[in-house]
Amino acid sequence: MCSKKTVVVGVTGGIAVYKALDVISSLKKKDLDIHVIMTKNAMEFVTPLSFQSLSQNMVISDMFAEPKAFEIQHISLAKKADLMLIVPATANVIGKVANGIADDMLTTTIMATKAPVVFAPAMNTNMYNNVIVQENIKKLKSLDYKFIPPASGRLACGDIGTGKLADTNTIVETVLTMLYDKKDLVNKKVLVTAGPTISPIDPVRFITNRSTGKMGFAIAEEARDRGADVTLISGPTSLVPPVGVKYIKVETNEEMLRETLNHFEQQDIVVKSAAVADYKPKQYSTTKIKKSESELSIDFIKDTDILKTLGETKKNQILVGFAAESNDLIKNAEAKVRTKNLDYIVANDITSRDTGFASNDNKVTIITKEGKIIPMEKMTKREVARELFNLINT
Ligand code: CTP
């Protein structure tokens, strides 16, 4: 994100109001300028002071209060907003906006803003499914208002069904994606592979590669925020799947190969950051291998080089590989560009201690198929992802 962005958060009166505090606290940590407008009903649930403390700005509610400076508040906030988020959004506020009613501070600001407006509804299942509410949502969507759909589960009233406010992470990531400046991957399909794969030895044992998946997840998030339609195929990882991407979990080389090939043809850009296992046991033991002998030998056979397979079949896709090297970084990475028919390779020196595996940082060199060598400074994995797409898009 370039400069500090302003998010105007509208809080309306439902039991999920307390969750809006968490959303605002998380947004504030992302270095956003937050201004809260509360409806009268919202103030019956939580006092403005809580929102004021978290947003570090005065909470606005009364349209006719004496202004501190000469400015018409709903107009100045409407102009200031880079985005308006309504959380929680009740059936009432959705209905008002859909029907052009502007009778309080929040609805007048929504009416006056040119910024994108996103609603995070929360209400009883029957209310949410009510045809009038659904018609209002449909109408607003057709007018380019955005919605973060509610989740299903046990609601405050005891009913089970759709209507729970979406979780904080989903709301925050949606807001950050909408605020992202660079939208140069709109209408592009990007496939990313991440994490390790495993090669099972018996029902309880496997071999694998060191990889947390952080680099691939950062690439998927960057592509998503730039507007791409992203598919992320990942081996086992403890990371939370990014919001708004198609997420496919795999375990073995074979599963990653199958899923990658299933999606390959329709992609514009494919980034293979996964640490794929090169070998698998010649014989998988269906029963647990007992520790009867003092030594154990297992024969391994070579598994498929997924990236090489893609390189052999690619048409117009831009193909990006990674190279994890402990020596002769440039020489080895350049060889992989040729043998795997790549457009770019992102090479990293795995012997470096404060970057690479498990770290949030990486220090890479990107090599193009034309032989251009671009060494990068140490930077976060997200910044590496940004540089990579900047390069692809030049
Ligand atoms: N790769 C792959 N399938 C494999 C091995 C690697 O698709 N079986 C991909 C990785 O996702 C990465 C690139 O190939 O994008 C390079 O992986 P790397 O482990 O650095 O190299 P290898 O090709 O396995 O060669 P070596 O282990 O000999 O360095």
- 336 annotated among ligand-binding-site residues: yes
Q: How far is the CA of 300 from the centre of ligand 1 (A)?
A: 17
Nearest CA to ligand 1 atom 9: 307
Q: How confident is the model at residue 157 (pLDDT cuts 50, 70, 90)?
A: confident
Q: How far is the CA of 346 from the centre of ligand 1 (A)?
A: 12
Q: Say yes or no: CB of residue 272 within 6 Å of ligand 1.
A: yes
- 322 annotated among ligand-binding-site residues: yes
Nearest CA to ligand 1 atom 17: 323
- 381 annotated among ligand-binding-site residues: no
Query: Of all atoms in ligand 1, which is nearest to the CA of residue 304?
Result: 8
Q: Which of 245, 126, 252 is nearest to 192 (CA)?
A: 245
Q: Which of 276, 320, 331 to mutate to test the pocket of ligand 1 (most atoms within 8 A of CB)?
A: 276
Residue-range domains of the chain with CATH? 6-179 (3.40.50.1950), 189-392 (3.40.50.10300)
**Cβ atoms within 10 Å, residue 138:** 13
- 4 annotated among ligand-binding-site residues: no
Q: Say yes or no: CB of residue 192 within 6 Å of ligand 1.
A: no
Query: Of all atoms in ligand 1, which is nearest to the CA of residue 320?
Result: 15
Give the list of residues 6+ apart from residue 350 with CB closer than 8 angstroms, or none: 324, 325, 326, 356, 357
User: Mean of the pLDDT values across residues 262-281?
Assistant: 97
Give the list of residues 6+ apart from residue 390 with CB closer than 8 angstroms, or none: none
Q: Which of 230, 188, 192 is nearest to 213 (CA)?
A: 192
Per-residue pLDDT at 353: 72
pLDDT in tens, 73-117: 668 999 999 999 999 999 999 999 999 999 999 999 999 999 999
Catalytic positions: 157
Q: How confident is the model at residue 71 (pLDDT cuts 50, 70, 90)?
A: low
Per-residue pLDDT at 74: 67
Nearest CA to ligand 1 atom 6: 276
Nearest CA to ligand 1 atom 20: 323
Query: Of all atoms in ligand 1, which is nearest to the CA of residue 303?
Result: 8
Q: Say yes or no: CB of residue 306 within 6 Å of ligand 1.
A: yes
| Overall size of the chain counted in residues | 394
Residues 289 and 203: beta-carbon distance below 8 Å: no
Q: What is the pTM of this model?
A: 0.90
Question: Using CA atoms, how far apart are residues 84 and 106, in angstroms rounded to an integer?
Answer: 10
Per-residue pLDDT at 394: 82
Q: How far is the CA of 153 from the centre of ligand 1 (A)?
A: 42
Per-residue pLDDT at 154: 87
Share of the chain above pLDDT 70, in %: 96
Query: Of all atoms in ligand 1, which is nearest to the CA of residue 308?
Result: 7
Q: Assess whether the previous peptide bond of 88 is cis (omega < 30° from 0).
A: yes
Q: Which of 74, 72, 34, 71 is nearest to 54 (CA)?
A: 34
pLDDT(312) > 90: yes
pLDDT in tens, 25-59: 999 999 999 999 999 999 999 999 999 999 999 99
Distances 143 to 99, 117, 118, 259, 300 between C-alpha atoms, Å: 12, 11, 12, 36, 59
pLDDT(64) > 90: no
pLDDT in tens, 167-225: 999 999 999 999 998 999 999 999 999 999 999 999 999 999 999 999 999 999 999 99
Per-residue pLDDT at 65: 67
Per-residue pLDDT at 350: 85
Q: How confident is the model at residue 66 (pLDDT cuts 50, 70, 90)?
A: low
- Choice among 63-77, 84-98, 262-276 with the minimum mean pLDDT: 63-77
pLDDT(354) > 80: no
Q: Say yes or no: CB of residue 235 within 6 Å of ligand 1.
A: no
Nearest CA to ligand 1 atom 27: 278
pLDDT(158) > 90: no
